[in-house]
A and B are shown apart, each in its own frame.
Chain A
Amino acid sequence: MPDPILTVDDLAVAYDGAVQALRGVSLRVDTGSVVAVLGSNGAGKTTLLRAISRSLGAVGGAVTAGTIRFQGEDLARRDASWVVRAGLVQAPEGRRIFRDLTVEDNLRAGGYTVRDAVARKEAADRVFDLFPILAERRHQRGGLLSGGQQQMLAMGRALMTSPTLLLLDEPSLGLAPQLVEQIGDIIAQIHAQGTSVLLIEQNAAMGLRVADRAYVLEVGAVAAEGSSAELAATDDIRDRYLGVSVAAPAADAPPAADAPAAPDAPAPPAPAPGAVHLQRSSAADARQLRVADLTVRFGGITALADVSFTVEAGSIHALIGPNGAGKSTCINVLGGAYRATSGTVHYGDQVLSTLPAHRIADLGIARTFQNISLSLDASVEDNLLVGRHRVMRAGTLSQALRLPRARREERAERDAVRRIAALLGIERLLDRSTHTLSYGDRKRVELGRALAAEPTLLLLDEPVAGMTHGESTVMADAIRAVQQELGLSVILVEHDMPFVMGLAERVTVLDFGRCIAEGTPREVQRDPEVLRAYLGTEAAA
């Protein structure tokens, strides 16, 4: 048996001294192997990586028990800087590149600990070999790269120290299927060059493809472990993480949460549609949304070119396409964050494209953000209450004086927020401070905040990015339930194809800012142009 490069024994981690994030976690990474960690959101995967890279302090976490050994050395008294110097580097979740620094300076920051200029140069050459696009764009600011390129930059930056163990936190997050394949290949290539990899991946298919071994983390503890092949063959893993194959449209697939769960790993609670009643306080109806010849330019870059589509009142419409295709730009114009250069957007008989964002919100259009935008220090409940702003009637004065009317309203609002939380399965999180939540839970809070505004049109920018297959099924059920109950229209941007295909009634495909296809999920999936530009060869097979 090869020597372990990393061993974690009986690790426990708590946040803010109270919230227990990991308990009794043990795992090992053998020298020269790739190990994947799977698990739902809030299972503690990122916490585990941060414990290993000694960066828990920055997020208010601390190791309360157990040991972590890297190449035999106990890390208890070592800091983040020592760990990097010893050859263990983490590429963080959400890429976190330095947006204002050039690609080259990002890489130089990554190579900070390498004192030898020649070694730095060689490392940079290796990174440019691995990611030729970075060499091409070396003088551009990191913030101008597309999502996939930013992920490559984040990985390249971590590789600048020529680490012996690389920690990757969700490298495929928010990437188009084709790019996910590419990132998987790159991980295999990094491994082939002699670097051991510990990988967190929500895309279990990709994770299990590149990994030798995998661990499944549930609610802060290891629920299963084994070789990738063994795990991939397990029914439970298939249901909850792998899901149905991309090629089969899963219009009425049974929700995976109904599948028998492992005894010590409770499945996320599936909301029973109909059990939760969200009442509208105003009787607004969804209207037809018409986007006509929409063009958006930033400086010299055309993000959207003559895009037209129509979303019928009360339907679910998906926007898909590669990273950088202009999907988020489109959502941003609809929500009022960006201005259209030309073209119009009509919502019913209102022209949206000239209204400021707060007036658009008044029309009953609510959104979620791709890069989550929540008040991190506020509780989940307060974040959701912010969403109620539009429907709350009591004035500032009566609230400040706590007049009976205001108190009554507040009670009613808290009840409304509780119902929304129950629907999304985040009721137990209401009192938690938002910064202690995992990425996927934050996504749910964002959706909750948007729903709290009682929208008639909901704009969702990657609602299930970073979620397991099981979780995204639950999310799809929740979205379908509110959509049917409230009769609202939904526009969603998402890379998770089973999710899109199971939920959307119509799909518009964008590529390089242009509309390349539109139709039902079934039609779009067979469109050769879409296969070429977006879904990639695996989906076609």
Chain B
Amino acid sequence: MSYLLTQLANGLSYGLVLGLIAVGFVIVFTATGVLNFAHGSVLLAGAYLVAVLQPTVGFWAAAAVGIAGAALLGVLINAVLVRNLAEANPGTAAILMLGVDILLLTELTRRIGNRVIPMGAPWGADRVEFAGVSLPTSRALAALVAVVLFAALWFLFARTRTGVAMRAAAADGDTASLMGIRLSRTGAAGWALAGALAAIAGIFLASFPAPGVAPTVALSAFAAIPAWVLGGFDSVVGAIVGGLVVGVATALAVGYEAELHVLGSGFGEVVPYLVMILVLLVRPSGLFGSKEAVRV
């Protein structure tokens, strides 16, 4: 029983971190209409900055630089590449992002080489025990930080002027600009927010108990894509729930791999996609997606 609970707790923590990444996909998509396949390399860039700077400036300063750097990278991609494409087919922007992802990933892989740059254990290497559940402190903290960030996002979108402007711009950009809302600003804000969230997720994914920053960290963003899609593409809540579903399913598949050995090893890696396919079979527009049910 406690094994199951431990796996569940691990899954929830992982799922919340995936949620941070998936929310970034949603925000970029609603703010600028782009399927941001470069999200993974932005995440890696942020984590890389933190790991490289950490020995010289200390963890907190490095984290601040890494988060700001990833946000800035997102803003740059948007300003240089995406804004010029405003009139083009959304498919063009998606393919362009794949290209950006490959370029960034290649450059980061070249810099990292065969190393795994240690992120260390900024929150210590001990574990918390609670009701028979044993979880590394860092994982518990990751979950806590993610929840706090989600609450902050809710506050941003529901209560602040900027957040309401971002939602208005996402709903109908042309009309929003008639209200004096600058679409270039809301777009940049979306990309910055997504980049920052990705970098924070990257820090948690690369620090203890994980060994450190390697190019494979970028792949975790791919696990967030099913979370994003099954949540419903344009829903922040959906992305969070999607992250949780994928996280828990993955953790259970990994935790019970021995029992599931008929399915072969490494089953956990395909679980996100399997879950996505199952959800979309039942609900084609995702768990929380807008159903395009317009009044005719």
CB within 8 Å of B: which residues of A?
Answer: 53, 55, 58-59, 79-81, 83-85, 89-92, 96, 98-101, 105-106, 108-110, 112-113, 143, 157-158, 161, 328, 332, 337, 369-371, 373
Assuming the contacts A90-B178, A100-B290, asked whether A109 and B165 have C-beta atoms less than 8 A apart, the reply is yes
Contact A89 B164 (CB under 8 A): no
In the complex, chain B residues whose CB is within 8 Å of the CB of A371: 294-296
Contact B164 A109 (CB under 8 A): yes
24 contacts between A and B (CB under 8 A): A83-B180, A84-B178, A89-B178, A89-B180, A91-B178, A92-B175, A98-B167, A98-B168, A100-B171, A105-B168, A106-B168, A108-B161, A108-B164, A109-B164, A109-B168, A109-B176, A110-B179, A112-B181, A113-B180, A143-B295, A158-B179, A328-B296, A371-B294, A371-B295
Q: What is the interface size of chain B, counting residues whose CB is below 8 A from a CB of the partner? A: 21
Given contacts A98-B168, A98-B172, A109-B167, 8 further A-B contacts (CB under 8 A): A85-B180, A89-B180, A92-B178, A98-B175, A100-B290, A112-B164, A332-B296, A370-B296
Contact B296 A101 (CB under 8 A): no
In the complex, chain A residues whose CB is within 8 Å of the CB of B107: none
| CB neighbors of A among B150-183 (8 A) | 161, 164-165, 167-168, 171-182
CB proximity of A301 to chain B, nearest CB, Å: 13
In the complex, chain A residues whose CB is within 8 Å of the CB of B296: 328, 332, 337, 369-371, 373
CB nearest to B294 among chain A residues: A371
CB nearest to B181 among chain A residues: A112
Contact A157 B179 (CB under 8 A): yes
The CA-CA distance from A468 to B174 in the complex, in Å, is 26
Assuming the contacts A105-B164, A108-B161, A371-B296, asked whether A96 and B179 have C-beta atoms less than 8 A apart, the reply is no
The CA-CA distance from A109 to B175 in the complex, in Å, is 10
The CA-CA distance from A72 to B176 in the complex, in Å, is 26
CB nearest to A157 among chain B residues: B179
Contact B167 A101 (CB under 8 A): yes
Contact B177 A58 (CB under 8 A): yes
In the complex, chain A residues whose CB is within 8 Å of the CB of B165: 109, 112
CB nearest to A338 among chain B residues: B296
CB nearest to B158 among chain A residues: A105
The CA-CA distance from A79 to B178 in the complex, in Å, is 10
CB nearest to B171 among chain A residues: A98
Contact B177 A99 (CB under 8 A): no
The CA-CA distance from A113 to B171 in the complex, in Å, is 18
CB nearest to A115 among chain B residues: B161
The CA-CA distance from A157 to B172 in the complex, in Å, is 14
CB proximity of A145 to chain B, nearest CB, Å: 11
Contact B172 A96 (CB under 8 A): yes
CB proximity of B22 to chain A, nearest CB, Å: 20
Contact A80 B167 (CB under 8 A): no
Contact B177 A80 (CB under 8 A): yes
In the complex, chain A residues whose CB is within 8 Å of the CB of B175: 92, 96, 98
The CA-CA distance from A91 to B178 in the complex, in Å, is 8
The CA-CA distance from A300 to B95 in the complex, in Å, is 44
Give B279-294 as 1s and 0s: 1 = Cβ < 8 Å from A's Cβ atoms: 0000000000010001
Give B124-162 as 1s and 0s: 1 = Cβ < 8 Å from A's Cβ atoms: 000000000000000000000000000000000000010
CB proximity of B128 to chain A, nearest CB, Å: 40
In the complex, chain B residues whose CB is within 8 Å of the CB of A158: 179
The CA-CA distance from A363 to B17 in the complex, in Å, is 54
The CA-CA distance from A98 to B290 in the complex, in Å, is 14
Residue among A53, A101, A109 making CB contact with B181, cutoff 8 Å: A109
CB proximity of B38 to chain A, nearest CB, Å: 26
The CA-CA distance from A108 to B167 in the complex, in Å, is 11
Assuming the contacts A369-B296, A371-B295, asked whether A101 and B168 have C-beta atoms less than 8 A apart, the reply is yes
* Best-buried of B161, B167, B178, B290 by chain A (most CB within 10 Å): B178
Contact B179 A58 (CB under 8 A): no
Contact A81 B171 (CB under 8 A): no
In the complex, chain A residues whose CB is within 8 Å of the CB of B182: 79, 81
In the complex, chain B residues whose CB is within 8 Å of the CB of A99: 171
CB proximity of A406 to chain B, nearest CB, Å: 28
CB nearest to B166 among chain A residues: A109
CB nearest to B234 among chain A residues: A100
The CA-CA distance from A79 to B184 in the complex, in Å, is 12
The CA-CA distance from A81 to B290 in the complex, in Å, is 29
In the complex, chain B residues whose CB is within 8 Å of the CB of A110: 179
In the complex, chain B residues whose CB is within 8 Å of the CB of A112: 161, 164-165, 168, 179-181
In the complex, chain B residues whose CB is within 8 Å of the CB of A90: 178
The CA-CA distance from A92 to B295 in the complex, in Å, is 19
Contact A84 B180 (CB under 8 A): yes
In the complex, chain A residues whose CB is within 8 Å of the CB of B290: 100
| CB neighbors of A among B260-296 (8 A) | 290, 294-296
The CA-CA distance from A55 to B178 in the complex, in Å, is 7
Assuming the contacts A98-B172, A100-B290, A101-B168, asked whether A109 and B295 have C-beta atoms less than 8 A apart, the reply is no
Contact B167 A55 (CB under 8 A): no
Contact A58 B174 (CB under 8 A): yes
CB proximity of A154 to chain B, nearest CB, Å: 9
The CA-CA distance from A387 to B284 in the complex, in Å, is 28
| CB neighbors of A among B173-210 (8 A) | 173-182
The CA-CA distance from A161 to B296 in the complex, in Å, is 32
In the complex, chain B residues whose CB is within 8 Å of the CB of A109: 164-165, 167-168, 176, 179, 181
The CA-CA distance from A91 to B179 in the complex, in Å, is 9
CB proximity of B167 to chain A, nearest CB, Å: 6
Contact B178 A161 (CB under 8 A): no
The CA-CA distance from A214 to B182 in the complex, in Å, is 32
The CA-CA distance from A165 to B90 in the complex, in Å, is 37
Contact B178 A80 (CB under 8 A): yes
The CA-CA distance from A13 to B10 in the complex, in Å, is 61
Contact B180 A161 (CB under 8 A): yes
In the complex, chain B residues whose CB is within 8 Å of the CB of A53: 178
The CA-CA distance from A84 to B177 in the complex, in Å, is 9
* Best-buried of B164, B165, B167, B180 by chain A (most CB within 10 Å): B180
CB proximity of A463 to chain B, nearest CB, Å: 15
CB proximity of B175 to chain A, nearest CB, Å: 4
Contact A55 B177 (CB under 8 A): yes
CB proximity of A513 to chain B, nearest CB, Å: 16
Top 9 closest pairs, chain A to chain B, by CB: A84-B180, A109-B168, A113-B180, A96-B175, A98-B171, A58-B174, A108-B164, A80-B177, A81-B180
In the complex, chain B residues whose CB is within 8 Å of the CB of A59: 174
The CA-CA distance from A219 to B173 in the complex, in Å, is 29
The CA-CA distance from A81 to B177 in the complex, in Å, is 7
CB proximity of B89 to chain A, nearest CB, Å: 10
The CA-CA distance from A84 to B180 in the complex, in Å, is 5
The CA-CA distance from A337 to B293 in the complex, in Å, is 11
CB proximity of A375 to chain B, nearest CB, Å: 15
In the complex, chain B residues whose CB is within 8 Å of the CB of A161: 179-180
CB proximity of B295 to chain A, nearest CB, Å: 7
In the complex, chain B residues whose CB is within 8 Å of the CB of A92: 174-175, 178
In the complex, chain A residues whose CB is within 8 Å of the CB of B178: 53, 55, 80, 84, 89-92
CB proximity of A173 to chain B, nearest CB, Å: 15
CB nearest to B182 among chain A residues: A81
The CA-CA distance from A84 to B182 in the complex, in Å, is 11
Residue among B171, B177, B180 making CB contact with A101, cutoff 8 Å: B171
